[in-house]
Amino acid sequence: MSCSLKAVWNALTRAARPAIAAAACLASFSADTSTTHAQLASVTDVEPYFVLTKTPDAALRCRAGEIWYAVANLKENTTLRVDGQTEGWLRVWYPPDLPAVVKAAEGELRDADKLVVLTRKSRLWSFNSTDPTGSYTPLTATELLPGNALPYLETIFDRDGTVFGYKVKAPPGCKGFVMESDVRRATAEESARALAEWNADTTSSAPAPASAAPAAAPPAAPTAATPSADTPVAQPEQRIEPPSTSAPASPQATPPDGGGSEPSPGAPPAEGAPPAPTPSTPDGTPPTLVNEGPQVQPTPVVPEDAAPQPAPPPKESYIDKLRKLDQAFSDMMKEDAQDPEYEALIGEYNKLREELGEGPLSAKARAYIEARVALLQLRSELRKGKADLENLRRTTQSATDDAAASVRRVIDSRLYEVVGRLRASALYDGDGMPLMYRIEAADGGPLRTLAYIPGDPRFDLAGKLGMVVGVKAEPVEEVKGRVRVLKPSAVDVIDPTVR
């Protein structure tokens, strides 16, 4: 007996070696999915502070963890504002002029204004600098309302020439992630200088209150990305305050062009005037940043033309399909999975791999899928090996229970195409996949899926779950030649005991 067990174990380990080697390419697929469905590390909010990149081309990523893509490569000594952290990662605010993506189903391009106007609620999408059509990570913390306008940069086309979406200038308040090893903490002087610039940028980007008097400023030359007066652009509500000092200075209102009379030191500031930028503290300590988070929901405007027509539902991309398959993969990897549907999932992965087009992202996706399939095959082989070991032990047993014996007698009678216990399928649950039930072996041997039957109200399959049934049917098709799918003409209860 010991020699037989050792031979089975050696055969299993030899079969597993190619799959283990193939699994190493999982790390090369940076376009996740889905999310893809790797668990993201929880991010802890921290008191905001400034850091500077210390390496050339430090990557600003769409998320932390193992699955990400680069939004941009930052120059050395780029100043970033940190407000969250997780193991080895820092959450930072976007520096100025980084892009975002509006998908074609979410907005429309106004060529005259060089603006992209949202036609439905959207959180925008983090720009994928390697392959813009692989931009799948939501960007903003809250949804932007229809009618919001974003400066247009360029149109993104899919591989078949259709418009995938629009590259736009990201609104204030967007965030990404950098590796903690790519940055260093700012000194007191660098923090004070960065804070002054931050306050100036925040004041200049904030919309003026409605009650404020118009300032006599020289008109600016129009640019292609300047929105029209009746189109709102999302702005965050944020404030950054230095540490309190012993004697705060009295606010004074100064005209933008530097001319005009100044109010007396004791006079109150003009109604609606923005506060002057606060200087750095005298002792050189870094000021404290107060983070209230972006609130990017300005009042929407009514479009100039008639009410917008409902946009057609976006077609499901291979990234979305990969997310669904990866969710099933994660469920099957759990230790408590009694009868994982490895073979069926391998078939669905192979089907998706054949649908992939050409391009660098497709090549990474193909390698990612092949690694998933290799891991599933490894788990399947190991599970079959355990079944073989169990069968070797069962050869020493002379008795079986009455229920298993009766099932075998029915099978031997050949009255049914398949006999087994009726179970629900975790993969073919009717949500994105066809609704099918599976027939699980009930002959006293190891658990395994014998066949699938589609849901049919004539047979009340939901009411027979857990019972041993006999299925009269003919084979209809196979999933990549691995799993039988039957079209039943009768489903009879052999043993009503539910297990």
Q: What's the pLDDT tens digit per position in 4-34?
A: 555 555 655 555 554 544 444 444 444 444 4
Q: Is 239 within a domain?
A: no
List all residues 6 or more positions away from 219 whose beta carbon is below 8 Å from its beta carbon.
none
> Contact at 8 Å (CB) between 297 and 144?
yes
DSSP 121: -
Distance CA 319, CA 326 (A): 10
Q: Which residue has the higher pLDDT, 303 or 225?
A: 303
Distance CA 259, CA 276 (A): 16
Beta strands 44-53 and 449-454 are unpaired
Residue 448, both tokens: 């395994």
Q: Is 268 within a domain?
A: no
Same domain, 297 and 357: no
Total residue length of the chain: 499
Q: Is 250 within a domain?
A: no
List all residues 6 or more positions away from 222 whose beta carbon is below 8 Å from its beta carbon.
none
Could you say which of 245, 271, 303 is where a domain stops? 303
pTM comes to: 0.40
Q: What mean pLDDT is predicted for residues 136-153?
A: 94
Instruction: List the alpha helices (DSSP H) in 206-251.
Output: none
Greatest Cα pair distance, the chain, in angstroms, is 107
In terms of Cα–Cα distance, which of 380, 355, 368, 358 is closest to 326? Answer: 368
Q: Is 311 within a domain?
A: no
Could you say which of 394, 422, 441 is where a domain stops? 394
Highest-pLDDT range among 18-27, 272-281, 470-479: 470-479
Same domain, 342 and 456: no
pLDDT tens column, 374-425: 988 888 888 888 878 877 777 656 544 555 666 667 666 668 888 899 999 9
Distance CA 202, CA 192 (A): 15
pLDDT tens column, 217-275: 444 444 444 444 455 555 444 444 444 444 444 444 444 444 444 444 444 554 555 55
Window from 177-186, 373-382, 440-449 with minimum mean pLDDT: 440-449
* Residue 99, pLDDT score: 96
* Residue 394, pLDDT score: 75
Same domain, 171 and 83: yes
Same domain, 384 and 412: no
Same domain, 98 and 135: yes
Q: Is 242 within a domain?
A: no
Range of the domain at 141: 41-205+282-303
* 449 strand-pairing partners: 440
Give me the sheet containing 79-86, strands edge to edge: 70-74, 58-61, 175-179, 89-93, 79-86, 44-53, 183-185
Could you say which of 394, 423, 438 is where a domain stops? 394
Query: What CATH number is associated with residue 474?
Result: 2.40.50
Residue 315, both tokens: 């077609």
CB atoms within 10 A of CB 457: 7
Q: Which helix (H) or strand (E) holds 163?
A: strand 163-169
- pLDDT, mean over the chain: 75
Query: 320 in the Ramachandran plot: left (φ > 0), alpha (ψ -120 to 50) or beta?
Result: alpha
Same domain, 381 and 470: no
How many domains is the chain built from? 3
Same domain, 54 and 191: yes
In terms of Cα–Cα distance, which of 116, 176, 178, 170 is closest to 296? Answer: 170
Q: Is 97 within a domain?
A: yes
Beta strands 89-93 and 79-86 are antiparallel
Same domain, 331 and 383: yes
Q: What mean pLDDT is predicted for residues 177-193?
A: 94
* Residue 122, pLDDT score: 95
Phi, psi of 308 (to 5 degrees): -65, 140
Q: In this prediction, what percent of the chain has a pLDDT beyond 70?
A: 61
Same domain, 296 and 174: yes
* Residue 496, pLDDT score: 84
Distance CA 138, CA 106 (A): 13
Q: Is 190 within a domain?
A: yes
pLDDT tens column, 311-353: 555 556 677 888 888 888 888 877 555 667 888 888 888 888 8
Residue 307, both tokens: 């009410």
Same domain, 134 and 158: yes
Distance CA 449, CA 327 (A): 20
Position 207 confidence tier, pLDDT thresholds 50, 70, 90: very low
Same domain, 415 and 470: yes
List all residues 6 or more positions away from 458 whose beta carbon is below 8 Å from its beta carbon.
none
Window from 36-40, 266-270, 361-365 with minimum mean pLDDT: 36-40
Q: Is 235 within a domain?
A: no
Same domain, 26 and 50: no
pLDDT tens column, 51-88: 999 988 899 999 998 889 999 999 999 999 999 999 99
